Structure 1
Amino acid sequence: MSLHPEIARVLAALPPLDHGATPDPEALRAAEAARVPPLEDRLPLHAVEDAIAVTSSGEVPVRIYTPAEADSYGLLVYFHAGAFFLGSLETHDGVARSLAKETGHKVVSVGYRLAPEAAYPAGLRDCYGVLRWAAEHGEDLKWDGGNLAVAGDSSGGNFAAVVAAMAHDDGFDRITHQVLFYPSVDLDFDVDRYASLRDNAEGYGLETAGLKPFNSFYLDSGADPADPLVSPVRREDLSGLPPALVVTAEYDPLRDEGELYGHRLKEAGVDVTISRYAGANHGFVANFGWIPEYHRAFEEAGEFLNRR
């Protein structure tokens, strides 16, 4: 299938990219913030509240989404995208709302610290700390004691995969699911490592030439691409990790590394669903989730979390 016509229309209106320039975090963050829709235009839920999670890594801002009134809920801890230096509770509020609605879970979105201001592994520690905080405060969150899932898109998918591995290594085996939307799981930017890096190199939003400069803030802060805590696809033993839903996009440079990670999980005995969305590009869950066939990714996450 060709690129979805609505995605193609939006991409055609974007200015040309200059991959030779170093990204300006402040300018890009301001541009993201300017695109956040007003509150009245957002998906309504039973309750949305901001809180501070007091964790082993310090105080971390979180936003808690309650889909409907109920006595108890499964919990879903969500980590937003942004190449480790962009994104916020606000920019990905829509993703968290849709996840809450379509899964029926209470969603805890994590406002983790960003590079370059916060060096590796500050953001990762925030994410892991909030996971543990959510489990420890289950009564306050009305956790039903069942599902405790992690989810993330792009770099947030990286954090979700790594947090699942960290929890397993710590003997904290309460995570029941991991939902990885077009995850960035290999931060070695050799263009020959995956066919999709060449096949989808240009013209689809995220471009292969932009991967290194956009991730440079994270890598230059001390993150080593050879470390499985930075590139989870490099973890040797994937056995014992929680069941995974890996969602990829047909026209995404990161497509093949996400699918490889899913296949490696399968080979290690993990229950895995790999779901490639035809005609989609990187970021489609956040940017084009209003298109019915791409909103399906949220519904698929709900089916994955709620299946018996």
Structure 2
Amino acid sequence: MGQTNVKILDSDTAAFLAAAHAADAPPLRSLSVADARRVIHQMAGSPPTHIDGVKSVDQQVAEVPVRIYRPAPPIAPCATVILFHGGGWALGSIETHDAMARAIAAGANACVISVGYRLAPENPFPAGFDDCCAVVRWADAGRAELGGLDAPLVVLGDSAGGNLAAAVSLWARDSGGPSIDLQILLYPVLDADPEGNFASRTAHGDDPRLFSRKDLAWFSEMYLADGRDLVNPYVSPLRAENLGGLPRALIITAGFDLLCDEGRAYHDGLIAADSASAYRCFDSTIHGFISFPDHISAGREGLALLVETIAAAPMVTAGDASNEARSGLI
């Protein structure tokens, strides 16, 4: 399924991978979950407390911990962005994605809600998914106090967080609300089956330097208490029978990533179902690149693209179907 147009790694990405190789760290899947979580937090470093005056507050909404970021002074109306962190549904946290959240709040003049959803394996599917749905429902009901009643509501996630953003968008459509205006999926997992048949998984899934099929299998096994859920579209959105009526999408992938082709396949499926979607593949970099803008130039470009997309998201009017424009490749 799909085709991969592989070029060569860009110099920034090659240097980043060389430094990681020189550190000789064991694969995360060889560690205990607790140790893997500590490593991910160490990789994220110490998050900045302020970026261009962005302020944040921690609270509980719908019994889910969140951190809400606002630019200071705020300029209303502004998009409300709900951020689902990556980490294979088992790792990562609000803290690991603090810098990304602050950059989006500052760059897009957005109210960003970063979600501390329950993690596997302690809390397998659908626990984390349910938390994400609850926060989106809360945010939609409270638009007036967040970005503004007529401002767009955006769901955004990277990797497993992109999976959750796509799944929540499907759920919202299937449930007749809440209303989501834009979904941004960064190198998302769209088929959680490690045996999924994609050319990019064959090309890159066994490269020890990269996010691998073994890694995906480890995460999927922790996330799912019942393997039959692999075909559930809220676990594997690409398995959905109908991709019509979904929020406008921006899908960003990496050329040296086993997940590349399923991102393109999801974009193609959205377009075929008359749902608006834009797609951009950064051909010469790797999974997770937007989390490393200080090291990888494509990360800076990708972060700028998603910030620009959020900043340009149109205001919402009564009866707006959110799919007024059809998009293609960026």
Change (3 A) 1:39 1:299: closer
> Is the CA contact 2:204–2:210 (under 8 Å) kept in the aligned structure 1?
no
> Is the CA contact 2:137–2:178 (under 8 Å) kept in the aligned structure 1?
no
Given candidates 8, 18, 31, the residue that maps to 1:2 is 8
How far apart are 1:223 and its partner, in Å?
6.8
1:30 aligns with 2:48: no
Match of 2:125 in 1: 120
1:270 aligns with 2:275: yes
- Length, aligned pairs only: 302
Change (3 A) 1:228 1:292: same
Q: Which moved more, 1:207-216 or 1:36-45?
A: 36-45
- Give SS of 2:231's match: coil
> Is the CA contact 1:194–1:257 (under 8 Å) kept in the aligned structure 2?
yes
- Give SS of 1:13's match: helix
Q: Which moved more, 1:97-106 or 1:167-176?
A: 97-106
How far apart are 1:83 and its partner, in Å?
0.4
Given candidates 149, 159, 174, the residue that maps to 2:164 is 159
Larger strand proportion, structure 1 or 2? 1
Match of 1:212 in 2: 217
- Structure 2 unaligned regions, length at least 5: 1-6, 315-330
- Give SS of 2:120's match: coil
What TM-score, normalized to structure 1? 0.91
Give the 5 Å matches for 1:137-216: 137-172=142-177, 174-190=179-195, 193-201=197-205, 202-216=207-221
Q: Which moved more, 1:287-296 or 1:62-71?
A: 287-296
What TM-score, normalized to structure 2? 0.85
Q: Which moved more, 1:65-74 or 1:81-90?
A: 65-74
- Give SS of 2:151's match: strand
- Give SS of 1:119's match: coil
Change (3 A) 1:131 1:162: same
Q: Distance in 2 between matches of 1:295 and 1:182?
A: 15
- Work out the percentage of aligned pairs sharing the same amino acid: 35
- Give SS of 2:245's match: coil
How far apart are 1:65 and its partner, in Å?
1.2
- Give SS of 2:155's match: strand
1:103 aligns with 2:111: no
Change (3 A) 1:66 1:223: farther
- Give SS of 1:220's match: coil
Structure 1 residue identity aligned to 2:170: A
> Is the CA contact 1:74–1:106 (under 8 Å) kept in the aligned structure 2?
yes
Structure 1 residue identity aligned to 2:33: P
Superposition CA RMSD, Å: 2.1
Q: Distance in 2 between matches of 1:212 and 1:74?
A: 35
Change (3 A) 1:26 1:16: closer
- Give SS of 2:195's match: coil
Match of 1:76 in 2: 81
Q: Distance in 2 between matches of 1:38 and 1:12?
A: 23
Structure 1 residue identity aligned to 2:276: D
1:67 aligns with 2:71: yes
Q: Distance in 1 between matches of 2:217 and 2:66?
A: 29
Q: Which moved more, 1:109-118 or 1:10-19?
A: 10-19
1:117-161 per-position Cα deviation (integer Å, ceiling 9, x unaligned): 112101000001000111222233242422001010000000000
Give the 5 Å matches for 1:10-25: 10-14=16-20, 15=24, 23-25=31-33
Change (3 A) 1:146 1:41: closer
1:68-110 per-position Cα deviation (integer Å, ceiling 9, x unaligned): 4223321011100000000000011112122222322211010
Q: Which moved more, 1:130-139 or 1:66-75?
A: 66-75
Structure 2 residue identity aligned to 1:216: E
Q: Distance in 1 between matches of 2:163 and 2:252?
A: 13
1:145-187 per-position Cα deviation (integer Å, ceiling 9, x unaligned): 2200101000000000010111111111521100000000101
